[in-house]
Structure 1
């Protein structure tokens, strides 16, 4: 699991006084950096091997400015050339939002998906939720 903690910015709030729903996908992308570094340690965009195929977000409760949030990031599924990144937003001990991003290991020169090698699959598996590591 990867974990990122920060305080929401004032500009993340909306007219209703809570964090705007458009911020959560941006927070999730930032918290996927640990996963990105598994594929490209220096984050060099010239050698970037991933594309985002799908993202979904579920809102469970309002998130507020002034209180620290934690983004928890797991690898929840590993396929041949794709994997799922499951993420949660926690604030004050409660899961406030969750979502899944489908990432594809991609070759831009060939314009197609490529297999994830077995060593990298094992590293990805080490970031699975605890209940999945033993199954």
Structure 2
């Protein structure tokens, strides 16, 4: 499925702060990662439950972003998140920051995350119940067979 055709079931508005703006008048590139982290956390809580982080760690193994167009204060931004792949211990997220009014994509972010045992300091398999919940939420049973 092409990125433009992707369905984003999880969306969250992002409020820009004056301190997010750099000397060029647009949102500093480092702020995107903070906003995407906030949205990832909200996704996990909304899909996997309030206590997701009580017993498991989920850590970033890789992250990259394409900055397509600047965001200026006071643009209204929406963050979109979807999971595009479920592996044994890792999964891939695709996120976008879009202008709420124009729907212009401002930034795209790909992240590989790993389930992690913080007590024993090693990766662990993703619980099958989590895979089921994610596939159901995303409306994509192919996630379970990829």
Q: Is TM (by shorter chain) over 0.5?
A: yes
Name the CA distance, whole Å, in 1 between partners of 2:121 and 2:49.
18
Partner residue in 1 for 2:104: 94
SS of the residue corresponding to residue 73 of structure 1 reads strand
Partner residue in 2 for 1:105: 115
How far does the alpha carbon of each residue in 1:20-75 deviate from its partner, in whole angstroms, 9 at most, with x for none?
1111011100001133325562365x634211111111101111111210000111
Decide whether the 8 Å contact of 1:84 with 1:102 is kept in 2. Answer: yes
Number of residue equivalences:
131
SS of the residue corresponding to residue 32 of structure 1 reads helix
Decide whether the 8 Å contact of 1:40 with 1:48 is kept in 2. Answer: no
Query: How far off is 1:123 after superposition?
Result: 1.4
Decide whether the 8 Å contact of 2:57 with 2:117 is kept in 1. Answer: yes
- Structure 1 unaligned blocks of 5 or more: none
- Structure 2 unaligned blocks of 5 or more: 1-8
Partner residue in 2 for 1:72: 80
TM value normalised by structure 1:
0.85
SS of the residue corresponding to residue 113 of structure 2 reads strand
**More displaced stretch, 48-57 vs 21-30:** 48-57
TM value normalised by structure 2:
0.79
Cα root mean square deviation, aligned: 2.0
Name the CA distance, whole Å, in 2 between partners of 1:76 and 1:97.
17
1:2 to 10, 13, 16: 10
